[in-house]
Amino acid sequence: MTSQQSHRKDEHVSLAEKFHQPAENSSFNQVRILHQSLPELALSDVDATTKFAGKQVAYPVLIEAMTGGSEQTGKLNAQIAQLAATVHLPMAVGSQSVALKQPELAETFAVVRDYNQDGLVIANIGAGHNVADAQAAVEMISADALQVHINAAQEVIMPEGDREFYWLDQLAAIVAKLNLPVIVKEVGFGMTAKTVQKLMAIGVKYVDLSGRGGTSFARIENFRRPAKEMAYLDDWGLTTPESLLEMRKLSSRPVIVASGGIKTPLDAVKALALGADMAGMAGEVLHHLITTDYAATVEWLRHWLQDFKRLMLLTGSSTVKDLRKQSMVFSPELESFARQRFIS
């Protein structure tokens, strides 16, 4: 298991942790939800359940695609699967492209079903793969849905990355042929309304905006370059709040997952208030698994989810849909973005 690709998977994990950002730096700090002094609600009235990808889930929170493809990351996938099953959250595995090329690595992904037999588990491949690859990735882990990641910025910075990005035709075929929800996903660079319009035009019904503000593949891949000369791209992309504001330009919307920089339950509440259907979290979960241990991570996530419910209470939200009704104020920078992008 010491192929170049396996090594890259290990490096991504260690570099994501190396560049892990504290919650104080979150782009969600550009959004304030206004306090209402009269919630007129009890915690027992709060229902955080929601429907996602055809299944009922306990919270509108997804443990995002991260890893698999090496011995170390196979162990991480086992822990993530156990974690998701324990707290009843949907989860995704990292890109399975490596296991399509090297079938001996499939077990580092399939292991998630050993620990999470009944939960909502999402497969993941890169755009550019064909329908057969998409089906193979789904079968490899008996997935309930498929994420296809679009990561042009990452590939361009990556020394060994792709240099051809004709993706829409293959994406359209996958969406048309697969009998499962297909989520087209960024990897931390965000999406404009125009990108999402193009995706919807080919039949895409689920997007994961994955904006800037958390794990930065610009920083990770630049660090992996022999000469680190693309550091000027560190701030490339739209933040997650900016991407969510972009969605206001659409007359009809897909189901929206917001990931990228979600660390606290308040970040997730803000994402849902800005119009997301689900909040996704990657780097923060990894940070807890790496810097503490499995048992402490379960405790952290349990508290996180309890606090999410308390914030629903505080914002007078008895259902996830109610979170959309919040009064919000934006920082001057975010407000300027909205104005320049003609978002009302």
Site string for ligand FNR, 300-339 (x = CB under 6 A): ----------------------------------------
Asked whether residue 198 is marked as a ligand-binding residue, the answer is no
Residue that the structure tokens 């910075």 belong to: 157
Residues 264, 287: Cα–Cα separation, whole Å: 13
Closest residue by Cα to residue 206 from 145, 164, 116, 163: 145
Shortest CB 251 distance to ligand FNR, Å: 26
Spatial contact of 61 and 119, defined as CB atoms under 8 Å apart: no
By beta-carbon proximity to ligand FNR, the closer residue of 50 and 147 is 147
283 binds ligand FNR (CB under 6 A): yes
Of 190-198, 264-272, 281-289, 310-318, the window that binds ligand FNR (rule: CB under 6 A) is 281-289
Residue that the structure tokens 């900016």 belong to: 242
Q: Which two tokens stand for residue 98?
A: 């490596």
Q: Which two tokens stand for residue 43?
A: 């915690």
Of 52-60, 64-72, 161-169, 224-232, the window that binds ligand FNR (rule: CB under 6 A) is 64-72
Of 131-139, 174-182, 184-192, 249-257, the window that binds ligand FNR (rule: CB under 6 A) is 184-192
Residues 259, 271: Cα–Cα separation, whole Å: 9
241 binds ligand FNR (CB under 6 A): no
Spatial contact of 259 and 284, defined as CB atoms under 8 Å apart: no
Q: Which of residues 145-164 bind ligand FNR (CB under 6 A)?
A: 147, 149
Residues 62, 308: Cα–Cα separation, whole Å: 13
Closest residue by Cα to residue 144 from 68, 73, 84, 67: 84
Q: Which two tokens stand for residue 340?
A: 């320049």
Asked whether residue 229 is marked as a ligand-binding residue, the answer is no
Shortest CB 315 distance to ligand FNR, Å: 22
Q: Which two tokens stand for residue 264?
A: 């606290």
66 binds ligand FNR (CB under 6 A): yes
185 binds ligand FNR (CB under 6 A): yes
279 binds ligand FNR (CB under 6 A): no
Q: Which of 74, 90, 94, 265 binds ligand FNR (CB under 6 A)?
A: 94
Phi and psi at 18, nearest 5°, equal: -60, -40
For residue 56, the Cα-to-chain-centroid distance in whole angstroms is 18
Spatial contact of 258 and 301, defined as CB atoms under 8 Å apart: no
Q: Which of 67, 77, 108, 116 binds ligand FNR (CB under 6 A)?
A: 67
Residues 246, 237: Cα–Cα separation, whole Å: 13
Q: 53: alpha, beta or left, given left = phi > 0 and alpha = psi -120 to 50?
A: left
Asked whether residue 155 is marked as a ligand-binding residue, the answer is yes
Q: Which of 181, 254, 260, 265 binds ligand FNR (CB under 6 A)?
A: 260
By beta-carbon proximity to ligand FNR, the closer residue of 209 and 273 is 209
Asked whether residue 8 is marked as a ligand-binding residue, the answer is yes
Residues 92, 102: Cα–Cα separation, whole Å: 20
188 binds ligand FNR (CB under 6 A): yes
259 binds ligand FNR (CB under 6 A): yes
Shortest CB 209 distance to ligand FNR, Å: 9
Q: Which two tokens stand for residue 251?
A: 């007359």
Q: Please compute, for residue 304, the number of CA atoms within 13 A of its CA located in the half-sphere on the CB side.
A: 25
Residue ranges that bind ligand FNR, judged by CB under 6 A = 12-13, 16, 64-67, 94-95, 124, 147, 149, 185, 187-188, 210, 214-215, 259-262, 281-284, 286
Q: Which residues are annotated as a binding site?
A: 8-9, 65-67, 95, 124, 154-155, 185, 210, 215, 261-263, 282-283
Q: Which residues are annotated as a binding site for FMN?
A: 65-67, 95, 124, 185, 210, 215, 261-263, 282-283
